[in-house]
Chain A
Amino acid sequence: MKLAKNKLQQAFDLMAKEANLLVPMKIEGVTKFAPWGAEGELAMDAVNTLLPPKDALFPQTEKMYKYKTRLTQVESLEEIKETDKQIIFGIRSCDMHSIDCMDEVFLTRGYVDSFYSRKKENLTTVAIGCTKVLPTCFCDSMGLNPVAAPTADVQLNDLGDYYAVKAQTEKGEALVNLLKPLLEEGDGEAAALECTLKVNMDGVQKKLMNVKMFESDIWQETAQKCIGCGTCTYVCPTCYCFDIEGKECGNEGYKFRCWDSCMFSEYTRMAGGHNPRPSKKERVRNRFLHKLAYFEDRYGKGSLCVGCGRCVADCPVDLDITMFIDKVGALKEAGSND
């Protein structure tokens, strides 16, 4: 099926009736996925947005449960359940794969995170193939395809004045059905697209997993310029760490979770004040090992870096993960210093 581009707004209106529709928008200069109708401009050509769409499943701040107490007794305790339907429209292959990664973390290995899983059940994803790449995009080096996101519910491809529309799941079929009045017969193949930035992951994960790497000089050298801000982790579509805290007022309150960053000193600080990751060397090591080695080791689903390039573009000191990958790739053997 195909959707003429001049019917896009009508399609948005239809979808927005069914669910909270998130589309790429530019708001106050920031591109991100925001509700259709929010104040700002539609940014379908943003390639990947400055902020990733992970907020839809894993909000930066999420209330978990609220309670009331009387003296020392709990009077009421209620889980806060968000059950609104959501559609993310225009998600790119890299960000779609970031959801696959978060699914592994939040839904597998014996624990289902109910907050995430409710949102995921109620989410429909509409991916759109890229027609151009940014200088920082390297998703195809990480095993993805800029024009196809196989796990999305619906795949769109930009073919000039229309989008080719393909349902890929049951949810996707339901959505295509909803849009049926606007769709026309027809099809078309998206032109293949390659990223200009290339890295070679061959052997990198294995080298990094080698115990000799842990004390390598590479970490100090790499981390020296890091200023320990949270930019890389907060713009990353796959960083999923959070902290849980409470807010209490009188005899009622709520608990919330909020994004945390392994780049912050406070992240690993223990109650007694000891910090097992005392300096940026240990913190950068953790981030890169988590992205490029540990995730594959635990879940066997490839790297936790999807190659979106956001951290490369936004790090204030240009600490570039792609240059790090090259550097590890070029090492004669794990643990050697050249």
Chain B
Amino acid sequence: MSDMQAKLRETAKKLLESGEVGYIIGWGKGRTNKTSPVFVKEPAKVDELVWNEYCLNTLAKYTMDNMYPEKKIGLCVRGCDSRAVNRLIQDNQLKRENVYLIGLPCEGKKDPVTGEMVKKCIECMHHNPLEADVMVGEPVQEKGYPDRFKDVEAMEALSADERYEFWAKQYDKCIRCYACRNVCPACNCRECYVDQYRVGWQGKQNNRAENQVYGLTRAYHIGDRCIECGECERVCPVGLPLMKLNRKLLKDANELFGEYEAGMNTEVKPPLGTYKLDDHEEYM
């Protein structure tokens, strides 16, 4: 781990010194075990970058804060971050030539409080960056995630009433902080439907109905574009099992349109973003 950290800093330093990149987005040290996204501009400050078992946040979406950078943005990418990059490129929110990808194979990250591997990393199917301009560290063994749809199948086995009750309890908890949306690389709309206050798609009251409208709408909006990084579920302060929803839509997409994972490349279009004459009607 620390070898990789040293190599990351060295790489970062070179990139900044040569002027190849304007700044680097990576992880830095928090007060506790936690890490926190950092933006390093000066070669002298590359020691602010850390690479350890607590580097949890996905970073790609920060490129949206600077859509017309003067120089390339150096972006640290693990498997999930690289899929997020593909997501943003495919959604026309990022140009490949605007980023310099520093690839970091990742064995999975731990919760800084409990010290246990976090759920999103247990469920990760791509630990190695799918694309990088430079690689730091050796590729790690991919394990896949055979249980990808197991939770969804368990939900599907319940009756409609039982499912309603399950989700009602969950959405009664939602505080509508929108952390799930804001952290999500697929939620990259310049203006979210939630914020279109004049149209009023989304009511502001916090109650079961409005909260469910929000949850369902977001789930559908990202239905075939969710890269399964699990960040929404990780950041939800009240612990909604959001990946159950997201994977339900992905499972349907897989069953109706053939095997599919989002953000694997920039060529294969999301199934709902294309139209074929023999498409299934059921999805509508």
Partner of B39, one of A27, A224, A258, A322: A224
* Known contacts A60-B206, A230-B177, A258-B204; A265 and B37 CB within 8 A of each other: no
The CA-CA distance from A197 to B175 in the complex, in Å, is 27
Partner of A234, one of B36, B170, B177: B177
The CA-CA distance from A258 to B175 in the complex, in Å, is 11
Q: In angstroms, how far is the closest chain A Cβ from the Cβ of B109?
A: 14
Do B204 and A243 touch across chains, with their CB atoms under 8 A apart? yes
| Contact count A vs B, C-beta below 8 Å | 99
Question: Within A252-295, which residues are at the interface with B (CB < 8 Å)?
Answer: 256, 258-259, 261, 264-266, 269, 280
In the complex, the chain B residue whose C-beta lies closest to that of A135 is B32
Q: In angstroms, how far is the closest chain A Cβ from the Cβ of B44?
A: 13
Any A CB within 8 A of the CB of B274 = no
Do B204 and A317 touch across chains, with their CB atoms under 8 A apart? no
The CA-CA distance from A185 to B32 in the complex, in Å, is 44
Partner of A231, one of B37, B61, B177: B177
Do B32 and A229 touch across chains, with their CB atoms under 8 A apart? no
In the complex, the chain A residue whose C-beta lies closest to that of B203 is A247
Any A CB within 8 A of the CB of B57 = yes
Do A225 and B204 touch across chains, with their CB atoms under 8 A apart? no
Do B179 and A229 touch across chains, with their CB atoms under 8 A apart? yes
Do B178 and A225 touch across chains, with their CB atoms under 8 A apart? no
Do B239 and A227 touch across chains, with their CB atoms under 8 A apart? no
Do B177 and A318 touch across chains, with their CB atoms under 8 A apart? no
The CA-CA distance from A261 to B237 in the complex, in Å, is 16
In the complex, the chain B residue whose C-beta lies closest to that of A316 is B235
Any A CB within 8 A of the CB of B183 = yes
Chain A residues within an 8 Å CB radius of B217: none
Chain B residues within an 8 Å CB radius of A27: 173
Do B238 and A259 touch across chains, with their CB atoms under 8 A apart? no
* Known contacts A229-B235, A314-B237; A259 and B31 CB within 8 A of each other: no
Q: In angstroms, how far is the closest chain A Cβ from the Cβ of B27?
A: 10
Do A225 and B239 touch across chains, with their CB atoms under 8 A apart? no
Do A323 and B31 touch across chains, with their CB atoms under 8 A apart? yes
Any A CB within 8 A of the CB of B195 = yes
Do A28 and B170 touch across chains, with their CB atoms under 8 A apart? yes
Q: In angstroms, how far is the closest chain A Cβ from the Cβ of B211?
A: 11
The CA-CA distance from A302 to B183 in the complex, in Å, is 34
Any B CB within 8 A of the CB of A330 = no
* Known contacts A28-B169, A29-B239, A259-B206; A229 and B175 CB within 8 A of each other: no
Any A CB within 8 A of the CB of B176 = yes
The CA-CA distance from A30 to B183 in the complex, in Å, is 21
Interface bits A297-338 vs B (CB < 8 Å: 1, else 0): 000000000000000101011111011000000000000000
Interface bits A222-236 vs B (CB < 8 Å: 1, else 0): 001101111100110
Any B CB within 8 A of the CB of A50 = yes
Partner of B178, one of A61, A229, A259: A229
Pick the most buried of A224, A225, A227, A264: most chain B CB atoms within 10 A of its CB: A227
The CA-CA distance from A317 to B55 in the complex, in Å, is 11
Interface bits B26-48 vs A (CB < 8 Å: 1, else 0): 00001110111111000000000
Give 26 CB contacts A-B under 8 Å: A28-B169, A28-B173, A29-B239, A30-B173, A50-B237, A51-B175, A61-B207, A224-B37, A224-B65, A225-B39, A228-B182, A229-B177, A229-B181, A230-B175, A230-B176, A230-B179, A231-B237, A234-B177, A258-B205, A264-B178, A266-B195, A269-B197, A314-B237, A316-B183, A318-B35, A318-B36
Q: Other than the known A60-B206, A197-B31, A322-B31, what 10 A-B pairs have Cβ atoms closer than 8 Å? A: A27-B173, A28-B173, A50-B237, A224-B65, A227-B61, A234-B177, A243-B204, A247-B205, A258-B204, A312-B31
Q: Which 5 pairs of residues, A with B, have the shortest CB-CB distance?
A: A229-B179, A316-B235, A318-B36, A230-B177, A225-B37
